[in-house]
Chain A
Amino acid sequence: MIRSANHSSYPRIGDGAWDQQLRRVARDRERGLASDDEVRGVEDEVAALVVAEQSRAFVDVVTDGLVRWSGPLSHVAAGFDGVGLDGLVRWFETGLYDRRPVVRGAISRSAARTVRDAELALEVKPKALKAVLPGPVTLARVARDEHYGDLRARALAFAEALHDEARDLAAAGVRVLQIDEPQLGHRPEDVDLVAETVGAVFSGAGPGATTILATYFCDLSALGDELARLPGTHLGLDLVHGPGNWPVLLRLPDGKGVQLGLFDARTTRVETADEVAARLAPYREILMARDVLVGPQCGLELVPRDTAFDKLLQARYLKEKLVKEWRWRS
């Protein structure tokens, strides 16, 4: 089966004055003119709009755009007990900054962090909603540690808290869960730790769930037989900034689904469905034997909203083209 899918984030503001309500209310809050509740209300409106916008592009699997997230790591991490936030850290090689998590005590989760967001997104009735969480090893690698003093202990503690979040997301009706581990390609030596901890998180998603281990900004060419140990029904591969991932497609374990990051989420040039389909053609046989998701290689908040929409639209056209020309079931 082939489906089109957003990766994770989606631009929270657009270029028109009407699309800038979140920026305006945040600025008003800084000036003491808007309350946290008012900001939350606008975030809810924008998140619903973002789900609807992706659905309007006829994307099969959408997200809530991570509209309420302060950053790729800080939003979820800061919701855990024992975790605070430190100074700024660049999100890999992008122009996006986040607060660095700092582990000050034992990590635990006393309240859900993203479940309400998912419930509200489901009310918009998308075809399928994907929930996204940061990976335990990426969190453990980036965080400053004042408590555990050991990467594995830190990652296991994050995984336990993330497992509880995954369990509650599943209870709320989420059937597609993605865990982001962009660190893996940069540190292939972490593969066993990723397998252990992400597997623990996925166990919370419940039977029958689609579970995607998403890697990006890198390739997994350094992994050999370890590929088979990576957990999840699907492996997310960045084929834009990880060209070494094309040969990895040939080595995927039998039955493993794949989320193909084919559209560059860091440029304004919009690739056409035709040119992307041409790149996929040599892999037709191995891809059609799998469950495949096609879309951008990472979160779309790195490009303007119009561009993000156009890239999702091309992902949808790509899926439709392959369904028609390859006689692929959708």
Chain B
Amino acid sequence: MALLTSTIGSLPKPPALHEARRRFAEGEIDGPALREVENEAVSRAIALQEDLGLHLLVDGEMDRADPICSFAERLGGIGIAGWVRIFGDRYVRKPKIVGPIARAGASTVDRWRFARDAASAAVKAVIPGPYSLMDGSFDEHYGSRRDACLAFAEVVRAEALDLAAAGATEIQLDEPSAGARLDEIPLLIEALGRVTEPLAGRARTWVYLGYADLAAAGAELAAMPADGLLVAGAHCAYAGLDAFAQSLPSARFAGIGVVDVLDPRVETEAEIAARIARVATSIPRDRLWVVPDGGFRAVRADAARGKLAAMVAAAR
């Protein structure tokens, strides 16, 4: 039985988009001109995924430098603190909360609509989750992680409802900070629930848990309130996956990473097939989705294509 395939969010940005972003930053082109280049990149990202035969597509995050900051900076009460390292040579601009968090309007709906119109398969809308928005921001206003998290939950819920109203039937919430603090898992669940519960019956919800340590908290993380959970695993040979799988409610889907996006090498179809076979010993095949460990933002375009192609072939 062929397994269902999707990807996490970002795909490599083409050189023309990097150049357009540079020119926009230096005032050489205006917003509509940049948007035109972004749209072209989104169309190519959709075409790539359809060529490869992925079942559930993404827009490739062509308009976002990173998912947390790009979403947060469009909110009221948020400033940008500066660049901070997150791993190796990877850096992000980190937001800071300087006042009450507020949302002026939908910030991702137009982008999702464009991608949907360019695709023949379903396109997943991807937005950051409230806990990771809180954990990924400096707080100079609330003084309470709980208050900041629940304030983010309000704006994420409004965004998700707008996406659903626009027709999005697959909505993914990125929570790469899940498991950062084990004592805050109840807060994570509460905040996510405020977003996913109103979507019940309107859209299938996914939560991406990033590189969460399943060996430390696999059972707790399996309880996230969503229709499907996505988590990395290829990078660590699936440490803790069994505990996670055993606690996964029977109606829930699981997308487990079988492509190591931190490895610049393109894995062979056989390697990925072996990983899928390992994962399938823990997750029943009828609830299993095959995905990469994370986004391809920092992967070379040819390598990303090769990795996804090997993944799709192995899933068949």
Q: Does A192 contact B (CB under 8 A)?
A: no
Question: In the complex, what residues of B have CB within 8 A of residue A32's CB?
Answer: 300
A31 to B237, CA, bound (A): 27
Q: Does A88 contact B (CB under 8 A)?
A: yes
Q: Does B21 contact A (CB under 8 A)?
A: no
B82 touches A307 (CB 8 A): yes
B180 touches A93 (CB 8 A): yes
Q: Does A13 contact B (CB under 8 A)?
A: yes
A307 to B237, CA, bound (A): 38
* B172-202 residues at the A interface, CB under 8 angstroms: 177, 179-181
A12 to B180, CA, bound (A): 24
Nearest CB on A from B234, distance (A): 8
* A301-330 residues at the B interface, CB under 8 angstroms: 301-307
Please tell me which one of the listed residues B86, B262, B264 contacts residue A96 in the complex, with CB atoms under 8 A apart: B86
Please tell me which one of the listed residues A11, A20, A95 contacts residue B86 in the complex, with CB atoms under 8 A apart: A95
Question: In the complex, what residues of B have CB within 8 A of residue A97's CB?
Answer: 86-87, 211
B87 touches A267 (CB 8 A): no
Q: Does B24 contact A (CB under 8 A)?
A: no
A305 to B83, CA, bound (A): 8
A89 to B212, CA, bound (A): 8
Q: Does B114 contact A (CB under 8 A)?
A: no
A190 to B139, CA, bound (A): 34
Taking CB as reference atom, which chain A residue is nearest B82?
A304
Nearest CB on B from A269, distance (A): 5
**Residue of B84, B177, B262 with most partner-chain A CB within 10 A:** B84
Contact flags (1/0) for B87-114 with A, using CB distance below 8 Å?
1110100101000000000000000000
Question: In the complex, what residues of B have CB within 8 A of residue A125's CB?
Answer: none
Taking CB as reference atom, which chain B residue is nearest A22?
B89
A71 touches B87 (CB 8 A): yes
B85 touches A11 (CB 8 A): yes
Q: Does A86 contact B (CB under 8 A)?
A: yes
Nearest CB on A from B215, distance (A): 10
Question: In the complex, what residues of A have CB within 8 A of residue B84's CB?
Answer: 11, 95, 301-304
Please tell me which one of the listed residues A87, A267, A303, A304 contacts residue B235 in the complex, with CB atoms under 8 A apart: A87
Q: Report how many residues on chain B are interfacial, defined by Cβ distance under 8 Å.
A: 32
B181 touches A93 (CB 8 A): yes
Please tell me which one of the listed residues A31, A95, A267, A305 contacts residue B139 in the complex, with CB atoms under 8 A apart: A267
Please tell me which one of the listed residues B82, B262, B298, B300 contacts residue A305 in the complex, with CB atoms under 8 A apart: B82
Nearest CB on A from B19, distance (A): 14
Taking CB as reference atom, which chain A residue is nearest B298?
A30
Nearest CB on A from B271, distance (A): 15
Interface residues on A, range: 35 or more
B89 touches A306 (CB 8 A): no
A306 touches B264 (CB 8 A): no
Question: In the complex, what residues of B have CB within 8 A of residue A306's CB?
Answer: 82
A22 to B83, CA, bound (A): 12
Q: Does B140 contact A (CB under 8 A)?
A: yes
Taking CB as reference atom, which chain B residue is nearest A302?
B84
Question: In the complex, what residues of B have CB within 8 A of residue A301's CB?
Answer: 84-85
Q: Does A90 contact B (CB under 8 A)?
A: yes
A26 touches B87 (CB 8 A): no
Q: Does B71 contact A (CB under 8 A)?
A: no
* B134-180 residues at the A interface, CB under 8 angstroms: 135-136, 138-140, 177, 179-180
Q: Answer whether A31 and B300 are a contact pair too, CB < 8 Å, given A268-B140, A307-B81.
A: yes
Q: Does B61 contact A (CB under 8 A)?
A: no
A268 to B232, CA, bound (A): 30
A101 to B94, CA, bound (A): 28
Contact flags (1/0) for A269-308 with B, using CB distance below 8 Å?
1000000000000000000000000000000011111110
A95 touches B177 (CB 8 A): yes
A273 to B224, CA, bound (A): 43
A119 to B293, CA, bound (A): 39
B89 touches A267 (CB 8 A): no
B89 touches A87 (CB 8 A): no
Nearest CB on B from A45, distance (A): 16
Please tell me which one of the listed residues B82, B91, B232, B239 contacts residue A23 in the complex, with CB atoms under 8 A apart: B91
Question: In the complex, what residues of A have CB within 8 A of residue B2's CB?
Answer: none
A269 to B213, CA, bound (A): 30
B140 touches A11 (CB 8 A): no
Nearest CB on B from A270, distance (A): 10
Contact flags (1/0) for B204-244 with A, using CB distance below 8 Å?
00000001010000000000000000001001110100000
Question: In the complex, what residues of A have CB within 8 A of residue B88's CB?
Answer: 70-71
Q: Can you report 22 A-B residue pairs in the complex whose CB atoms are below 8 A from each other?
A: A13-B91, A14-B83, A22-B89, A26-B89, A31-B300, A70-B88, A87-B236, A87-B237, A88-B232, A88-B235, A89-B213, A93-B180, A93-B181, A95-B86, A96-B85, A97-B87, A98-B87, A268-B140, A301-B85, A303-B81, A303-B138, A304-B83
Residue numbers of A with Cβ under 8 A of B are: 11-15, 20, 22-23, 26-27, 30-32, 70-71, 86-90, 93, 95-98, 100, 267-269, 301-307
A-B complex: 3 closest residue pairs judged by Cβ atoms: A304-B82, A87-B236, A87-B235
